[in-house]
Amino acid sequence: MSDATLNSTSDLQRSQDSYMDLVRRKRMYSGIIVVVFVALMVSGFNLADARSAGGFWDGIGNIFQFPGEVVREAGQKIQNLPGLMLGAVPSLIETLNIALAATLIGALTGGVFALLSTRGLARWPRLIGLFRRMMDVLRAFPEIVIALVLIFVMGGGPVPAMIAIALHTTGALGKLFSEVAENADSKPIEGLQSVGASWIQRMVFGVMPQVAPNWSSYALLRFEINIRASAILGFVGEGGIGQDLRLAMQWGQGRYDEVVAIFIVLFLTIVVVDQTSSHFRDRLVKGR
Amino acid sequence: MLTIDRLTKRFGDRTAVNAVTLKIDRPMMIGVIGRSGAGKSTLLRMLNCLADATSGTITFKDTEITALRGSDRRAWQARCAMIFQQFNLVPRMDVVSNVLHGTLNRRSTLATMFNLYPTSDIHRAIEILDRLGIAEQAPKRAEALSGGQQQRVAIARALMQDPDIILADEPIASLDPMNAQIVMDALRRIHEEDGRMVICNLHTLDTARRYCDRVIGMRDGRVVFDGMPEQLTTGVARDIYGAGADFSEAATSTEIKTLDRSDVPAGRAKATV
């Protein structure tokens, strides 16, 4: 009896000691990681600061100068704001249209790419790598570069902007969609296979219902990003609200009230899109 | 010791717990029975402050639990451990870390984030695991363990809190009969050896009769029975489960039938969960 107790205490001792070894090793690793992380951050900051034209510490004080100037001037002409905001609406609609069309096209093609490049779902498993690389290429080029090339070829306007954003969206959403689809349950798909469904039927009836909530929330997030992207493309002559913004800012002092009006309109748009999209997404997820 | 006074919880227009009044004057092992939706879980969740009461009060040793806020409330939660049906462990962390989570309320957030638990705590965690017979699983991930082992890790986490009360919300409902017995034996032993109060939601009558000192029966949010396990007769059980009128869900377990056969001793046969 006493033997047994002795044995069990030494067993306990042993498991305590071996776990403490594990803990000590883990602590040492995390200690090393923290030290390396801090060292890299500090040295990286110093290097970047040394390579910049100005200095970080010299410039940091001026960071609010330009926004301050803009807000001050807009404050003086606050009575102009409602009119200017209303005036920005037509070009805002153009910007929104570009973003919406690009998101729709990008999400549809991205979905197809995603299914073709997901392990376990792909129609041609050997070509998964090819489709993945195609999406990598689409993501690699910034929208603005594609847009500039397309403007050179097709001339300015909303269509090149839409194509440029759609291409990037295809690559970005394809990757995210594929990761969602990878986690989809394979049982319903097997069930459909057992009744002799084709690949497209299996994807539409077996995968889509499972991934719809996550796919739609990624697509809606992308829509927000694309509104901003399409506003930026206005700066390179694609029309829309970005063009107005560039003109207003280029004029310098005297039109800052218009700059503020455009920012307010953009902000409100993002808020409205966020609120309505989360409302509809909730309905989709909860199936009401 | 623990006094519950007209405790009520409403979800919209549905009343989950309806004016429950209970008085428990010494640490004992209490079984709460009733069919699904009778308000057992909601009652336990309110004791642990996982859910707020709509009205009524809970008082423990002159402290009004229902009025606690912020860090006082979290300190109470540490004194009143909870064990869940689905174990509620962190699956990707190792067993000892899961047990050490029982000390989170006592330690600073920063220290625990860097995994800096005192050596004495780590030793005690492994001692508790040893007491529950799973010390050799210490370095494994919680998700790698079987259901019965995971529930014992959850009990170890509860013991690590060194609580006054252990609440167990259907602790054996997702376990096979063998593991269910191990877990219930462990809870009973904790009550007997450490003198802690254990309040256990059960949906099988025979478990309640076998392990508990006092049984509380709930139906539609109200306490309809409160007494010794021996007083649980067929008629009372029918009343609690609403059997006879509609013979469904909770009543489909073999207990009602077992009780029908008059003087059957508190059977070893576990319910079909």
Domain limits for position A24: 2-60
Indicate whether A94 and A15 sit together in one domain: no
If you measure CA to CA, which chain B residue comes closest to A22? B139
A23·B136 Cβ contact <8 A: no
- Residue pLDDT, tens place only, B74-125: 999 999 999 999 999 999 999 999 999 999 999 999 888 888 899 999 999 9
Indicate whether A263 and A146 sit together in one domain: yes
Residue-wise pLDDT tens for chain B (273 aa)? 899 999 999 998 899 999 999 999 999 999 999 888 889 999 999 999 999 999 999 999 999 999 999 899 999 999 999 999 999 999 999 999 999 999 999 999 988 888 889 999 999 999 999 989 999 999 999 999 999 999 999 999 999 999 999 999 999 988 888 888 999 999 999 999 999 999 999 978 888 888 999 999 999 999 999 999 888 887 788 888 877 655 443 444 433 344 444 444 444 444 433
Q: Which of residues 211-250 of A touch B (CB under 8 A)?
A: none
- Per domain, the residue ranges of chain B are 2-42+51-260
Identify the pLDDT of residue A53: 74
Q: In chain A, which residue ranges form alpha helices assigned H by DSSP?
A: 2-51, 56-59, 65-76, 81-116, 128-140, 143-154, 158-182, 187-194, 199-202, 208-233, 241-250, 256-286
B93, B96, B113, B117: best mutation site toward chain A, by most A Cβ within 10 Å?
Answer: B96
- CATH number, position A111: 1.10.3720.10
Indicate whether A82 and A188 sit together in one domain: yes
- Total number of domains in chain A: 2
Indicate whether A128 and A11 sit together in one domain: no
If you measure CA to CA, which chain A residue comes closest to B125? A16
Assigned CATH for B2-42+51-260 = 3.40.50.300
For chain A, the maximum distance between any two Cα atoms, rounded to a whole number of angstroms, is 95
- Residue pLDDT, tens place only, A137-176: 999 988 888 888 888 888 878 888 899 999 999 999 999 9
Contacts of A15 in chain B (CB under 8 A): 126, 130, 135-136, 138
B139 touches chain A (CB under 8 A): yes
- Mind telling me how many Å the CA of B126 is from chain A's nearest CA? 6
A16 touches chain B (CB under 8 A): yes
Contact A209, A192 (CB under 8 A): no
Contacts of B130 in chain A (CB under 8 A): 8, 11-12, 15
A9 touches chain B (CB under 8 A): no
Nearest CB to B119 within list A12, A20, A26: A20
B127 touches chain A (CB under 8 A): yes
Residue A88 above 90 pLDDT? no
Indicate whether A101 and A40 sit together in one domain: no
- Residue pLDDT, tens place only, A14-50: 888 999 999 999 899 989 999 999 999 999 988 888 8
Decide if the complex's ipTM is over 0.90. no
Number of Cβ atoms within 10 Å of the Cβ of B262: 6
Indicate whether A195 and A244 sit together in one domain: yes
Nearest CB to B135 within list A12, A20, A26: A12
Indicate whether A116 and A229 sit together in one domain: yes
Indicate whether A47 and A74 sit together in one domain: no
Contacts of B96 in chain A (CB under 8 A): 19
Indicate whether A107 and A52 sit together in one domain: no
B115·A23 Cβ contact <8 A: yes
Indicate whether A6 and A146 sit together in one domain: no
Indicate whether A138 and A252 sit together in one domain: yes
